[in-house]
Amino acid sequence: MKTLYVFDNDGTLYDDAGTQKQFMEIFYRYASGLLATSQENVATIIHSLKTKHGTEFSLIALMREFNINYEDMVNNTYLQVTLGECGIVSPDIVRYQTLSQIIGPKVVFTNNPSAFAKKVLSYTGLTELFSDFIGMEELEFSGKPSIRSFEIIENHHRGFDQIIFVDDLVKNLDVAKQRGWKTVWYNPIGVSTELEHRHLFISSFGELLKVT
Ligand SMILES: [Mg+2]
């Protein structure tokens, strides 16, 4: 059986608590400059810009409002994160060994920029294990859990008998499951009984070998 393995990045291929915190600081500074307002006002303005531009993503709302090049925004925000200060395991031996034992093409499916995913995975030593990196730009700014984003993955990678998808967010897994993907919920802090039946469940990354 030909299987494609699809992985979320943030919170799945690394612990993203530290990068999220640092990113928010960088983003608020950046947005406050762009909006010419104090950092306290940024959240309220962005909230209305999201509605105006029909997106749930702050960066995209700003991009559309100011007609900014996405790559420039990414360079000024995501790529400014100092990974060495984010408490990320590097090199990530557990994930490297686990992923190395899974035979078949593996791709990254992330709502963050693919350039950022590559930066993180290079830091953790996992880049070579993946054949494709599909991020927000490649997703035509649709993003998970929109159906369009899952279609883009399917269109980029045809001819597989099954797709196995690992993510830490249930709302993403639910859409994947509706499309017939086999879903694995990675949740390092526990599980509710009800969800166990909807998706395969792992609480440590190494367990992936048991369920796939
Ligand atoms: Mg995630």
Residue 145 φ/ψ, nearest 5 degrees: -95, 25
Residue 31 φ/ψ, nearest 5 degrees: -65, -35
Instruction: Report the phi/psi class of residue 165: left, alpha or beta, with left for phi > 0 and alpha for psi in -120 to 50.
Output: beta
Cα(168) to ligand 1 centroid in Å equals 5
Cα(116) to ligand 1 centroid in Å equals 13
Cα(32) to ligand 1 centroid in Å equals 26
CA distance 110 to 10: 7
Cα(144) to ligand 1 centroid in Å equals 10
- Tell me how many helices (H) and strands (E) the chain has: 10, 6
Instruction: Tally the domains of the chain.
Output: 2
Cα(13) to ligand 1 centroid in Å equals 8
Cα(111) to ligand 1 centroid in Å equals 8
Type of residue found at 179: R
Cα(20) to ligand 1 centroid in Å equals 11
pLDDT tens across the length of the chain (212 residues): 999 999 999 999 999 999 999 999 999 999 999 999 999 999 999 999 999 999 999 999 999 999 999 999 999 999 999 999 999 999 999 999 999 999 999 999 999 999 999 999 999 999 999 999 999 999 999 999 999 999 999 999 999 999 999 999 999 999 999 999 999 999 998 766 666 678 998 999 999 999 88
β-strand pairing of 132-134 with 162-167: unpaired
Cα(37) to ligand 1 centroid in Å equals 30
Tokens representing residue 98 in the block: 């686990």
Q: Are residues 158 and 183 in the same domain?
A: yes
Final residue in a domain of this structure, among 35, 61, 83: 83
Q: What is the pLDDT of residues 63-117, one digit of tens each?
A: 999 999 999 999 999 999 999 999 999 999 999 999 999 999 999 999 999 999 9
Cα(51) to ligand 1 centroid in Å equals 23
CA distance 87 to 16: 9
- Segments forming the whole domain that contains residue 202: 3-13+89-211
Q: Are residues 178 and 142 in the same domain?
A: yes
Q: Are residues 40 and 59 in the same domain?
A: yes
β-strand pairing of 132-134 with 3-7: unpaired
Question: Please, which residues have CB within 8 angstroms of residue 111's CB and are 6 or more apart in sequence?
Answer: 10, 57, 135, 136, 139, 143, 144
Q: Are residues 56 and 136 in the same domain?
A: no
Angle in degrees, CA 89, 133, 196, rounded to 5: 65
Q: Are residues 127 and 93 in the same domain?
A: yes
Cα(9) to ligand 1 centroid in Å equals 6
Name the residue with tokens 């367990």. 207
CA distance 128 to 166: 18
